[in-house]
Amino acid sequence: LRQLTELRTGIRAGHLRLHYQPLYRARSREIDGAEALVRWQHPQRGMLPPGVFLPDAERSDVILELTDWVLAEAVHQTALWHRAGFDVPVSVNLSAAYLAQDRAVPTILALLDLERLPARLLMVEITETAVLTRPDQAAARLAAIRAAGIRVAIDDFGTGYTSLGLLPELPIDELKIDRSFVMRMHDSPARATIIDSVIAIARSLDLTVVAEGVEDEPTAAALAEAGVDLLQGYHLDRPQPADQLESKFTQSS
Ligand code: G
Ligand code: G
Ligand code: MN
Ligand code: NA
């Protein structure tokens, strides 16, 4: 509880930071986007990863204020890159509680307007669990987001309980295969089979497929061969501050 109060104070004091992890095209290995990941630059404890403070935030209203900050910062940074001539789509993780607010979609649209950012350069990531909490409401909200031109990804795909029957009804653009299926897929025929199935489903629904948690080259090569569109993981690049990532755009985007 003390940490939560401190987090709320920290958000208002400007202590949150965003790191960006690039996504690479599986075949050409060009940068094709980045995922915004929050950190807390704590005055005493140093740079804290989200695992340390997000679960607490998610159990309270602090997640709403945190997500407002993340969205504003990510849209601002993406607009700076856009104005500098780098069209890098940036994705933001949205928690279920954020999407459940009536103000979620208008807030996001107002930010795009404020920063004059083309909607195609913003993407939102939602977990299956977030969709399943209130499937009809979530589908309506995601449809409104997509109608504005913002793209939608299902994050950590395969770890939740989305019935495959629900998937064609969901207004989404992308599936991100959870890293638990990707890591060490080359030692497990079962994991490789799951990945092939997700790719087949994604193809049939005309969705982009992303593999997360790509930690070595044999895995990257196998995923490219299997038909995954985009790769994300430590083998390709770490989450990093905006200025570090920007130096790579001059080479690849
Ligand atoms: O960066 P790291 O691997 O430690 O992230 C851990 C988890 O925190 C991931 O599941 C990621 O989706 C989540 N996460 C990171 N940034 C955000 C954010 O801004 N909002 C939400 N809701 N989740 C985030
Ligand atoms: O749940 P979500 O997909 O949003 O979380 C992304 C998280 O995955 C971030 O915390 C990021 O630091 C982490 N991550 C990114 N690449 C890798 C990787 O190659 N291996 C592992 N173990 N984690 C990764
Ligand atoms: Mn994510
Ligand atoms: Na994920």
Q: What is the tally of structural domains in the chain?
A: 1
Task: Assess if residue 54 is contained within a domain.
Answer: no
Task: Assess if residue 43 is contained within a domain.
Answer: no
Q: Are 11 and 60 in contact (CB under 8 A)?
A: no
Task: Assess if residue 13 is contained within a domain.
Answer: no
**Residue ranges making up the domain that contains 238:** 20-37+59-252
Statement: residue 185 has pLDDT above 90: no
Task: Assess if residue 10 is contained within a domain.
Answer: no
Q: pLDDT at position 253, please?
A: 60
Task: Assess if residue 63 is contained within a domain.
Answer: yes
Ligand found nearest the CA of 47: 1
Task: Assess if residue 237 is contained within a domain.
Answer: yes
- Please tell me the distance between residue 89's alpha carbon and the centre of ligand 3 in angstroms: 14
Q: pLDDT > 90: what percent of the chain?
A: 84
Mean pLDDT of the chain: 94
> Which residue from 54, 234, 236 has its CB within 8 A of the most atoms of ligand 2, so it is best to mutate?
234
- Please tell me the distance between residue 213's alpha carbon and the centre of ligand 2 in angstroms: 6
| Cα separations in angstroms, 151 against 46, 79, 97, 99, 171 | 34, 16, 19, 15, 9
CB of residue 37 inside a 6 A radius of ligand 2: yes
Task: Assess if residue 78 is contained within a domain.
Answer: yes
Which among 94, 47, 91 has a CA at the least distance from the CA of 67? 94
Task: Assess if residue 47 is contained within a domain.
Answer: no
Q: pLDDT at position 163, please?
A: 72
CATH number of the domain to which 132 belongs: 3.20.20.450
